[in-house]
């Protein structure tokens, strides 16, 4: 998965890549690397702000409803992309 968002400390736009895990109502994104303007962010995996992102979701009539989750480990935070997403064919 890839996400683009703003770094909470530097306010720079980062493209973050990582793994996605999910179960019947939770999605967890585990970031592995990040880049800014095409250049890799050095030591990204050792940074304190590299955290797991958590969403809770429900799937109803081909609509994915994402809600922010709560941190499940010290240092984690929720991604702010929430809302209703429609399935496309």
Containing structural domain, residue 37 = 2-86
Burial class (CB in 10 A: 0-12, 13-18, 19+), 83: exposed
Q: Report the domain count for the chain.
A: 1
The per-residue pLDDT for range 23-81, each reduced to its tens digit, is 989 888 888 888 888 899 887 766 655 567 788 899 988 888 888 765 444 444 444 56
What separation, in Å, do the N-terminal and C-terminal C-alpha atoms of the chain show? 20
4-25: pLDDT as tens digits: 776 666 677 778 888 989 998 9
Give the Cβ contact number of residue 71 at 10 Å: 13
- The residues that bridge with 6 in the sheet, in sequence order, are 13
């Amino acid at each position: 998965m890839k996400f683009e968002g703003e770094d909470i400390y530097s306010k720079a736009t980062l493209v973050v890549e990582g793994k996605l895990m999910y179960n019947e109502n939770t999605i967890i994104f585990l970031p592995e690397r990040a880049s800014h303007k095409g250049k890799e962010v050095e030591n990204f995996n050792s940074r304190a702000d590299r955290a797991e992102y958590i969403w809770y979701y429900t799937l109803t009539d081909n609509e994915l409803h994402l809600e922010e989750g709560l941190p499940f480990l010290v240092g984690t935070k929720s991604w702010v992309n929430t809302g209703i997403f429609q399935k496309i064919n």
